[in-house]
Chain A
Amino acid sequence: MSLLRVEHLVVEFPGRRGTLRALDQVSFDIAPGEILGVVGESGAGKSLTGAAIIGLLEPPGHIAGGEIHLEGRRIDNLPPEQMRRIRGRKIGAIFQDPLTSLNPLYSIGRMLVETIMTHLPVSAAEARQRAIRLLKDTGIAAAAERIDHYPHQFSGGMRQRVVIALALAAEPQLIVADEPTTALDVSIQAQIIALLKRLCKERGAAVMLITHDMGVIAETCDRVAVMYAGRIAEIGPVHEIINQPAHPYTRGLMACIPDMTQERDLLHQIDGAMPRLTAIPPGCAFNPRCEQVFERCRQERPELLAAGPTRAACWLHASGGGEP
């Protein structure tokens, strides 16, 4: 059974000039212990999907359709207090910027102990021992001493380790990591990703890794979901997505990764830009930029269709085909 199942998720933002549909019929699932990468351009809805799962959509954004199930239990319609108990305990979250994710006026120990004691029935002393162990696990030297230090006394990479420790503090089964390395030095990014991967593996926690770094995806993930304009364009095992992408958008995305073995003057790019939410074309959202567009793409929106080892929302893969 899958750990997390998202079905036809719709997130809308009501505004003065009509309602914006920021996520449209997003469906995917994550198995226990699995790492699912979510890629896409800025504004494709990656972070929003994460926020919807942990129940922290910024108002006026709200879930307008679909369901989210965690361990077979529906969680998208839970009352706020029950959802709070799930956050941290069942689903941990890591955000982009470790420099701003920690309260500057709290020592890291206080934050860890607070988080542990919110969710687990342990004494303060026990919680502190757990906190020290967590910090050790995340590779912080002299953890017993540094636990009483404040965030400003740690470097960026160290702070992201603290953030990871905080996200794992109450032993959640799923971590939603929203661009956990984007704000870090390139030299530290690999360390943090490796750490996240190791800790989650040890604890059997699944990860939803939101990023736009294909390198990170290739090294880390089991499966990948490619998002475009609030929809999933393609989803499948990481190797297949990278080597034989089925959706023209995924193909374009992969072609954008510069190949160091080839001498090239120009970097590849996909012509045009992702449509704004107010102006998503009918049919397939990608059709104005697609090189293989045909009539059906402009009229009918494709579901995720089996396309070899992956599934792609593209009419090229409709059985019986529509290709001219």
Chain B
Amino acid sequence: MLAFILRRLVQAMIVMITVALIAFMLFQYVGDPVTFLLGQDVTPEESRALRAALGLDQPFVVQFWHFLANAAQGEFGFSLRQGVKVSTLIAERFPATIELALVAALLALVIGVPMGVYAALRRGSFLSQVFMTISLLGVSLPTFLIGILLILVFAVQLGWFPSFGRGEVVSIGGWTTGLLTAKGWHHITLPAVTLAIFQLTLIMRLVRAEMLEVLRTDYIKFARARGLTDRAVHFGHALKNTLVPVITITGLQLGGLIAFAIITETVFQWPGMGLLFIQAVNFADIPVMAAYLCLIALIFVVINLSVDLLYFVVDPRLRVDRAGGH
């Protein structure tokens, strides 16, 4: 198992270096920072002097090495637009995005798994067909449309929920949270639901398909033949086997939720990293874009690693060395 983790860590390193390279390329090929800083009317001498001061006259590999070393310390330089350190900017925005993604993922799991189980066990019943139809809508409607519709109904017409912002936040050791205040929950509801709907329908469909698959297996048939109760068969034997693939997808989706919260954050003006990124793109704020890219890659890598480790918890076949059975 240790060897497995080490191998995964090496793979993760390779992924991170590749992403860092792509992020670094942004600096190289999206405009010349010197022109950017000094404008068009400069003498070649001035330009050369700044170039040397910034280390831009050094070979590519050396420059990349500096970038890597800084990135490893969370240092991505200053935002071109706001003149603030990129690390500070991201640290401010990070909690908002993480909270939104986690609440959405939790919502999707807590509602999606039972719906999927129900749709599999009561296949063909009226309610499970309703679930399947709704899920088709959820999968096919684009997120921004769901967001706008929710705003229209619940914020504009009914006035139940606010349509933008995080509401009241409490700061705990640099981490600002909206989950400790009623206002915060009030504000997070619509964006979290918007973000969760796609995941929810995906999880529901996945659980249903896996569950139907598992219910056909011999060990379920044998469990029934031993006279176990439906409850033990469905929620013990079947559900546990269903969860292995569900863990994988949910893990990957959590990364996706964080990375692609951009649209939801824009619609709801949620002060998270996605909104920061969109603003950075508009102003060609390359250091922010590069940092965002690296951070998202890191999140994906960490989640994948955690999912792999979760397998060990769920599946005994991976856990122990094979003891001879003959």
In contact, A166 and B315 (Cβ under 8 angstroms): no
| Mask of B301-324 contacts with A, CB within 8 angstroms, 1/0 | 000000000000011110010110
At the interface with chain A, which of B160-168, B226-234, B254-262, B291-299?
A: B226-234
In contact, A118 and B326 (Cβ under 8 angstroms): no
In contact, B221 and A95 (Cβ under 8 angstroms): yes
Residue from B217, B223, B314, B326 with most neighbouring chain A CB atoms (10 Å): B223
A89 to B226, CA, bound (A): 8
Chain B residues, CB < 8 A from A95: 218, 221-222, 225
Chain A residues, CB < 8 A from B219: 100-104
Contact of A89 among B218, B227, B236 (CB under 8 A): B227
A84 to B234, CA, bound (A): 14
User: Could you tell me the distance in whole angstroms from the C-beta of A182 to the nearest C-beta in chain B?
Assistant: 13
Chain A residues, CB < 8 A from B320: 150, 153
User: Could you tell me the distance in whole angstroms from the C-beta of A98 to the nearest C-beta in chain B?
Assistant: 9
Chain B residues, CB < 8 A from A102: 219, 222
A170 to B225, CA, bound (A): 12
Q: Say whether B241 faces chain A, with CB atoms less than 8 Å apart.
A: yes
**Given A149-B323, A153-B320, A155-B326: A100 touches B218 (CB 8 Å cut-off):** yes
Chain A residues, CB < 8 A from B224: 56, 84, 87
**Given A54-B225, A93-B225: A152 touches B326 (CB 8 Å cut-off):** no
In contact, A118 and B222 (Cβ under 8 angstroms): no
Chain B residues, CB < 8 A from A97: 218
In contact, B218 and A84 (Cβ under 8 angstroms): no
In contact, A105 and B240 (Cβ under 8 angstroms): yes
Chain B residues, CB < 8 A from A155: 325-326
CB closest residue in chain B, given A163:
B222
Q: Say whether A40 faces chain B, with CB atoms less than 8 Å apart.
A: no
Chain B residues, CB < 8 A from A103: 219, 223, 237, 240-241
Number of interface residues of A (CB under 8 A): 38
CB neighbors of B among A123-166 (8 A): 149-150, 152-155, 157-158, 163, 166
In contact, B316 and A87 (Cβ under 8 angstroms): no
CB closest residue in chain A, given B319:
A150
User: Could you tell me the distance in whole angstroms from the C-beta of B322 to the nearest C-beta in chain A?
Assistant: 6
Chain A residues, CB < 8 A from B226: 87-88, 92-93, 115, 118, 166-167, 169-170
CB closest residue in chain A, given B223:
A103
CB neighbors of B among A102-120 (8 A): 102-107, 111, 114-115, 118-119
CB neighbors of B among A7-26 (8 A): none
Contact of B228 among A88, A92, A105, A150 (CB under 8 A): A88
Chain B residues, CB < 8 A from A85: 227
User: Could you tell me the distance in whole angstroms from the C-beta of B246 to the nearest C-beta in chain A?
Assistant: 13
**Given A102-B219, A155-B326, A158-B325: A87 touches B225 (CB 8 Å cut-off):** yes
Chain B residues, CB < 8 A from A93: 222, 225-226
Q: Say whether A86 faces chain B, with CB atoms less than 8 Å apart.
A: yes
User: Could you tell me the distance in whole angstroms from the C-beta of B30 to the nearest C-beta in chain A?
Assistant: 50
User: Could you tell me the distance in whole angstroms from the C-beta of A144 to the nearest C-beta in chain B?
Assistant: 15
**Given A101-B218, A105-B315: A114 touches B228 (CB 8 Å cut-off):** yes
Chain B residues, CB < 8 A from A87: 224-227
Chain A residues, CB < 8 A from B241: 103-105
A152 to B323, CA, bound (A): 9
User: Could you tell me the distance in whole angstroms from the C-beta of B237 to the nearest C-beta in chain A?
Assistant: 5
Chain B residues, CB < 8 A from A167: 225-226
CB closest residue in chain B, given A150:
B316
| Mask of B238-250 contacts with A, CB within 8 angstroms, 1/0 | 0011000000000
Chain A residues, CB < 8 A from B232: 114, 118
CB closest residue in chain A, given B214:
A103
Chain A residues, CB < 8 A from B218: 95, 97, 100-101
In contact, A88 and B237 (Cβ under 8 angstroms): no
Contact of B316 among A84, A107, A118, A158 (CB under 8 A): A107
What are some 7 contacts across the A-B interface (CB < 8 A)?
A95-B218, A101-B221, A103-B241, A105-B316, A118-B226, A153-B320, A169-B226
By Cβ-Cβ distance, the 8 closest A-B pairs, closest first, are A88-B227, A87-B227, A93-B225, A100-B218, A154-B325, A155-B325, A88-B226, A150-B316
Known: A111-B223, A114-B232, A153-B320. 5 other contacts (CB 8 A): A85-B227, A101-B219, A115-B226, A118-B232, A158-B325
Give the interface of B toward A (CB within 8 A): 217-219, 221-230, 232, 236-237, 240-241, 314-317, 320, 322-323, 325-326
